[in-house]
Structure formats: C-alpha cells, structure tokens
C-alpha cells in the first residue's frame, strides 16, 4: 500500500506560539518542536506500517519546508524537503498513491478555537473559497488528492481543525492532540501520548481504506481569494486567467483542479512580493 504524508507543524501537540514553529528565526523552542513534529510523523509511519502500508512518501509542508529531522525518519521512507514547490504542501502526489495523511494540520484563517489558524500565507490570504465553499489548507489539499483519485485517511491537529476537516471528510480518522483556548494557548496532551494516539489512529485509518473516498469539487472550479491588501490584488490580477472582482478579491476558474491549485500557489507567492520596493 502506497501512502503520502503531508506534514505541518502548528497542529503538533503543545504548539501554541509562532516562536515554536518559526524556522527562519531558528528559536530554541523551534528546535524542540521540530523534534516533536518529526516524532509525530514517525508515529504515523509506524501505525500505517502496522496495518500494511509499505511505500511511504513524506512531504515537509511547514514554512520553508525544511523542518523534519531527516536522520530520525526510517531509512526506506522518501522525503520531499524544501520550498518553492509547484504543488507546495502536496508536491509529489499522483495517482499511484492509495491514501493520504495530514499530520500537524491547523484551522483556516479566521477560524475560532483553532490555534495559530491561517491559510497558507496569512500576510496575503484573508480567505479563499472554492465553488463558494470556504477552505482551509486541509480542504484545498484534500481536493488535490481527490483530483488524483486518492482519499484522505487521517488528519491530526487541534480539536477544531480535526472536527472541521471531518465535516467535509467524514470517512477520515481524526486524532486531536490538543484543544485550542483561543488563538495562542492550548490544552494539550503530552508529546508521548500524542505519538501513541497518532500511531493508533494511523493504523485504524489504513484499515478503514475500503470506506474512504476521494474528495473533489465539481468542475468547473471557481476560486475566489480575498487578500489582505489592495496592492496584492493589483499584482495577482496581472496573472493570466485571474480577474479582479472586488477591491481585495480576485477570481480564477478552470475545469482542471490541478490548474486551479497551481494558480492559488502563484497567487499567494505573487501577493507576498506586492509590497516590496520596485
């Protein structure tokens, strides 16, 4: 059984502050929590293997995407490492996979009771909707997996994030490792308890494969992005296929969701440089 794991960091047990996940500043707390992130990934791998997964690809999907401690990952597991990937958090996924895990995931920007909630680039993306449905990273990424015919089997993170994902992916196994208390504090289980729960959840998720199904939006897929600043909409509207529909809103539509997803990646990257000097 071939498994794909997209791993984020804000949903790891105990995480409640940007300092704990800030790879660019390389804070002492980040050093600790990247180890916990790696341990949760390894727990998911161990659980999946106990239920029959034998080929596994891990895509480091947080921040600059250089967080996973590679020497702690099992020797026969492939890892995609580094930023500026065309499909970002879902790089490397294709139709050859049978299931997807989302570990350490967080809620959508603006979501209450979801610690450190944001959607890809919070300095750019204020909201994103597909066919009118408000999307988290889990929604956007699950739809790309569904485009390839691959179901999401497991999601781990805080309670609000897991429950929101399961509202759209009812067949997915959820493992909540903490409950958010607002945006900057959590009631969390210990790292060891989280790893044990994730291993058990991963095993159950693989055993539930027959009941899972791909998640997809009906074509044509219309994407609306509300951005944080008007100058970001100025820049994004220059990308062929985008139209400006409001002061801070741009729209892109296409029959092929992979094209829509890459347009989203191009949009948040273009928006990120909109405020820089010419």
Q: Which residues are catalytic?
A: 118
User: Phi then psi for 264, rounded to 5 degrees?
Assistant: -65, -45
Point out which residues pair with 99 in neighbouring strands.
3
Which helix (H) or strand (E) is 200 found in, with range? helix 191-207
- Spatial contact of 139 and 133, defined as CB atoms under 8 Å apart: yes
Which residues lie closer than 8 Å to 158 by C-beta, 6 or more apart? 11, 106, 107, 113, 114, 115, 176, 177, 178, 179, 180, 186
d(Cα 168, Cα 40) in Å, to the nearest integer? 24
Point out which residues pair with 100 in neighbouring strands.
4, 152
Residue with tokens 């945006």: 183
The size of the chain, in residues, is: 278
d(Cα 240, Cα 244) in Å, to the nearest integer? 11
**Residue 113 half-sphere exposure, CB side, CA atoms within 13 Å?**
9
d(Cα 33, Cα 39) in Å, to the nearest integer? 9
51 C-beta neighbours (distance < 10 Å), count: 16
| Three-class secondary structure of residue 42 per DSSP | helix
228 C-beta neighbours (distance < 10 Å), count: 19
Short-list 67, 87, 64, CA closest to 12: 67
């Amino acid at each position: 059984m071939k498994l794909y794991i997209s791993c984020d960091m804000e949903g790891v047990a105990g995480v409640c502050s940007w300092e704990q996940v800030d790879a660019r500043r390389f804070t002492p707390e980040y050093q600790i929590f990247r180890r916990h992130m790696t341990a949760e990934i390894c727990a998911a791998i161990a659980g999946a293997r106990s239920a029959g997964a034998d080929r596994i690809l891990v895509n480091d999907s947080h921040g600059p995407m250089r967080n996973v401690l590679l020497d702690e990952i099992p020797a026969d597991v492939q890892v995609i490492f580094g930023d500026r990937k065309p499909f970002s958090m879902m790089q490397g996924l294709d139709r050859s996979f049978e299931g997807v895990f989302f570990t350490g995931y967080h809620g959508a920007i603006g979501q209450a009771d979801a610690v450190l909630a944001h959607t890809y680039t919070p300095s750019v993306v204020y909201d994103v909707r597909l066919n009118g449905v408000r999307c988290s990273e889990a929604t956007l990424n699950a739809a790309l997996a569904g485009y390839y015919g691959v179901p999401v089997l497991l999601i781990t993170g805080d309670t609000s994030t897991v429950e929101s994902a399961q509202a759209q992916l009812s067949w997915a196994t959820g493992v909540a490792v903490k409950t958010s208390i607002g945006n900057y504090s959590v009631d969390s289980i210990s790292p060891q308890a989280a790893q044990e729960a994730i291993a058990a959840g991963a095993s159950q998720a693989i055993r539930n494969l027959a009941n899972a199904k791909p998640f997809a939006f009906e074509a044509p897929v219309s994407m609306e992005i509300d951005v944080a600043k008007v100058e970001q909409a100025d820049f994004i509207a220059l990308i062929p296929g985008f139209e400006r529909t409001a002061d801070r809103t741009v729209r892109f539509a296409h029959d092929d969701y992979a094209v829509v997803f890459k347009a989203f990646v191009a949009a948040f990257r273009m928006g990120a440089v909109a405020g820089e000097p010419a």
